[in-house]
Amino acid sequence: MTKEKKELLKKEIIITGFGGQGIVLAGRILGKAASLCDHKESTLIQSYGPEARGGACSADVIISSRPIYYPYIKSPDILACMSQSGFEKFIGSLKKGGQLLIDQDLVKPVDVAGDFFSIPATLMAEELGRTMMANIIMVGFITAITEVISLKASRDTVTGSVPKGTEEMNLTAFSKGYNYGLALLKSRHKKAVGKTGA
Amino acid sequence: MTDLNIIVFLCNWGPHAAYQALQDNASRIPVEVDMVRIPCSGRISKALLLKPFEMGADGVLLIGCKSGTCHYGTGTLTALKNVEDTRDILGLLGLRKDRLRLAMFLPDESEELLCFLTDFYNDIKAAGKSPAASDPKEEMLAEVSDPVTQIVAAHDVYACQDCGKCSSACPLALSGKPFSPWAMANAIIMGRIDSPAVQKDIWSCLTCGICYERCPSAVNLPEFVRDIRHFLKKKGASNRYEAHGGFFQSLMRTMTSKALKFKRWDWLPDDIQIDPESKVLFFGGCAPYFDVFFRNHLGIQTSDIIIDSLKLLNFFDINPALLNDERCCGHDLIWSGDKENFLRLAKLNVEAIQDMGIEELVTTCPECYWTLAHDYPANGIEINFKVTHIYDLLEREIDKGAVGFKEFDHNLTFQDPCRLSRFEHRSELPGKLLNRLNPKAFKEMQDSGTGAVCCGNCAWIGCDSFSKALQVKRIRQAHDTGSDILVTACPKCLIHLSCGMEDPFLGKELKMEMMDLVSIMAKTIQWE
């Protein structure tokens, strides 16, 4: 635990996408999970306005094991993009060695120096019957890939943050994203050790 | 005299003359030796070689004429193959292979014959009683089977409306066999169970379940037939409808012996990861026995299904445990009327699995799956572990993502296994996995899903020329799709359909490559 805490002194996360995708809710879940369940500090800045009608929209989340004095993010450790315009706006600011997560059908990453993680979140949500759950799938994916919040915290917060009656559906979506993240990490590990097939 | 039982099958021609000389000279042939005079060593099938072990023999000898002196030309050669196959199967069962031996003698080699018999006797004496025989079988009677009317009532066969939907769907009837499910059921209701037609038909039914699928009154004819078979078996029905001379029934009954220490996993490749401590058990099924039995005829490799299943589990970092003393699940025994021995197998299997503390059992064979998951509990054998078909597990894992399939440059079609598609109503399950594959093309046959035509046999009984006709029809359907690989999901389908392709009158016309679904998956799966 102590080791984990040291590593996770402070993580700055930007989630970006179109208005209406539930970007802010996704940010809120991350922050709430960190502060209420994982007992850390967190802040959320939501940037919306005209964006709420479909323009670019973003949520700045900081998770830290110490008090946070300034909630705005200049260069994030983690950038999760669910729209091309969001990607283009923030990709330049991503910290060197930071993690980039994208919805692979909505973002075509260009000029990305390092590695990135992609998930067909919106497609998966469509398959589940509700496109609006793409954000929850993304939360699951972020949880699995970045480990900024614990699985339990993330799940519990999803249950507590979505409209009554949709908890189960959202948990299914969350698990989809989370499992996809784990499978992707496993896939990379397997490839790294040269075992791609059965 | 010891309590050893040694059976000697002795060819009528060369060796019998030698044996007679020994008898004439009052030579000391070990008294435990029982001699059976036979027309030719080549006529002693694998079934006849195994049968004595099932019945408690400790050693079996097949003695024929020396190569070149066979009265019929090829007898000795056939005997060689039969003995070799049966010895390997004894090996899998954990019996000493040397309990079965083949020897050849000329008529004037009586001294050599005596030496051989004495040596063999001493060998067997040193090895002791056969574990398949030394175990007094616990009396385990299935609850006394109900009289016919009760069986009829239990399955509510009275609900039959004589509509004939079953006989218009029955693959046997459609292959031209004078066989009608509803006529048979009605004859039994009318009390004509002893009529020759019923006595014959009851062993012909494939129990493939298409009649039940179509029946508007939901009469479960396969289970009805199964119970009637059990009733007839208890009354002493003959076993002449058993295919392959009853070899497989014999094999399964031999496995009911508790003392057997199986050696059934020795052939697994080294790169398969097994974890004896795992709470997940992989239940392999009888494929290794099939491969030995059929190696000189069909040359099939059903063990690949086991290997490829294990590879797929390993691919997902699941290293299952294996059951050393895994016995046949008993599917073919219960479906051929031998419920008592089915229950013995079931009990032994469940005890062994529960002793290992298994929480989940995974199997690829649809028959094992159905039997373990449904027929064990339905027959009073409680199980405290979960039974999962490997397709469910694979679908669950693949659905998590990051897994894809390499291109597979073939046109595929699929033979649905009856136990999964009709009994379990899960024909969509292999369908989902097939959709994930990346072949050149996939096309279903004319009859597919729950309406798929049977592979031609079930439980190793009632195979005849009509079974062949039905297989030919089915294989032609597969060819009509323009596919070059027929994908199967059950080792039995693979065996029976490859047998159907051997039709001597049609030559190579029916030939088609076959592969099990898990084999294609193991070959093409990859992390993405």
A180–B contact, CB cutoff 8 A: yes
- Asked if B527 and A179 come within 8 Å (Cβ–Cβ), the reply is no
- Asked if B521 and A198 come within 8 Å (Cβ–Cβ), the reply is yes
B521–A contact, CB cutoff 8 A: yes
The answer to whether B48 touches B245, Cβ cutoff 8 Å, is yes
Q: Residue B433: its chain A contacts at CB < 8 A?
A: none
Nearest-angstrom CA–CA distance, B371 and B336: 14
Q: Which of A104, A185, A186 to mutate to test the interface with B (most CBs of B within 10 A)?
A: A186
User: If you compute the radius of gyration of chain A from its CA atoms, what whole number of angstroms results?
Assistant: 16
Question: With 60 as the cut, is the pLDDT of residue A7 above it?
Answer: no
Nearest-angstrom CA–CA distance, B413 and B520: 12
- Asked if A183 and B317 come within 8 Å (Cβ–Cβ), the reply is no
pLDDT in the model for residue B461: 92
Cβ neighbours of residue A166 closer than 8 Å, sequence gap 6 or more: none
A127–B contact, CB cutoff 8 A: no
pLDDT in the model for residue A53: 65
- Asked if A179 and B525 come within 8 Å (Cβ–Cβ), the reply is no
Shortest CA gap B280–chain A (Å): 19
Q: Where are the domains of chain B?
A: 6-127, 148-234, 262-394, 397-527
Q: Where are the beta strands (DSSP E) in B246-385?
A: 280-283, 321-322, 360-363
Q: Which CATH architecture has domain B6-127?
A: 3-Layer(aba) Sandwich (3.40)
B317–A contact, CB cutoff 8 A: yes
CATH number for the domain formed by residue range(s) B262-394: 3.40.50
Q: What is the pLDDT of residues A127-172, one digit of tens each?
A: 998 888 999 999 999 999 999 999 999 999 999 998 898 899 999 9
Nearest-angstrom CA–CA distance, B177 and B162: 19
For A33-50, b/e burial (b = at least 16 CB within 10 A) is bbbebbebebbbbbeeee
- Report the residue from B314, B400, B527 with minimal CB separation from A179: B400
pLDDT in the model for residue B245: 92
| Encoded amino acid at B75, one letter | G
Question: With 60 as the cut, is the pLDDT of residue A125 above it?
Answer: yes
- Report the residue from A180, A188, A198 with minimal CB separation from B401: A180
CATH number for the domain formed by residue range(s) B397-527: 3.40.50.1860
- Asked if B402 and A197 come within 8 Å (Cβ–Cβ), the reply is no
Tens place of pLDDT per residue across chain B (528 aa): 678 999 999 999 999 999 999 999 989 999 999 999 999 999 999 999 999 999 989 999 999 999 889 989 899 999 999 999 999 999 999 999 999 999 999 999 999 999 999 999 999 999 988 888 755 555 555 555 558 888 888 899 999 999 999 999 999 999 999 999 999 999 999 888 889 999 999 999 999 999 999 999 999 999 999 999 998 888 888 888 999 999 999 999 999 998 889 998 999 999 999 999 999 999 999 999 999 999 988 888 999 999 999 999 999 999 999 999 999 999 999 999 999 999 999 999 999 999 999 999 999 999 999 999 999 999 999 999 999 999 999 999 999 888 999 999 999 999 999 999 999 999 999 999 999 999 999 999 999 999 999 999 999 998 999 999 999 999 999 999 999 999 999 999 999 999 999 888 887 889 999 999 999 999 999 998
Q: Residue A197: its chain B contacts at CB < 8 A?
A: 315, 406, 524-526
Tell me whether domains B262-394 and B397-527 share a fold. yes
Cα nearest neighbour of A173 on chain B: B400
pLDDT in the model for residue B507: 79
Cα nearest neighbour of B406 on chain A: A197
Q: What is the pLDDT of residues B339-387, one digit of tens each?
A: 999 999 999 999 999 999 999 999 999 999 999 999 999 999 999 999 9
The answer to whether A137 touches A125, Cβ cutoff 8 Å, is yes
pTM of the predicted model over 0.80: yes
Kindly give the residue spans of alpha helices, DSSP state H, lying in B108-206.
110-127, 148-154, 165-169, 171-174, 181-189, 196-201
Question: Domains plus CATH for chain A?
Answer: 2-192 (3.40.920.10)
Residue B282: phi and psi, rounded to 5, are: -100, 125
Q: What is the pLDDT of residues B463-497, one digit of tens each?
A: 999 999 999 999 999 999 999 999 999 999 999 99
Q: What is the pLDDT of residues A9-50, one digit of tens each?
A: 889 999 998 878 888 899 999 999 999 998 999 999 987 666
Q: How confident is the model at residue A191 (pLDDT cuts 50, 70, 90)?
A: confident
pLDDT in the model for residue B59: 95
Shortest CA gap A44–chain B (Å): 30
For range A106-122, the mean pLDDT = 86
A141–B contact, CB cutoff 8 A: no
Q: What 3-state DSSP class applies to A10?
A: strand
Question: With 50 as the cut, is the pLDDT of residue A1 above it?
Answer: no
Q: What is the ipTM, given to two decimal places?
A: 0.80
B308–A contact, CB cutoff 8 A: yes
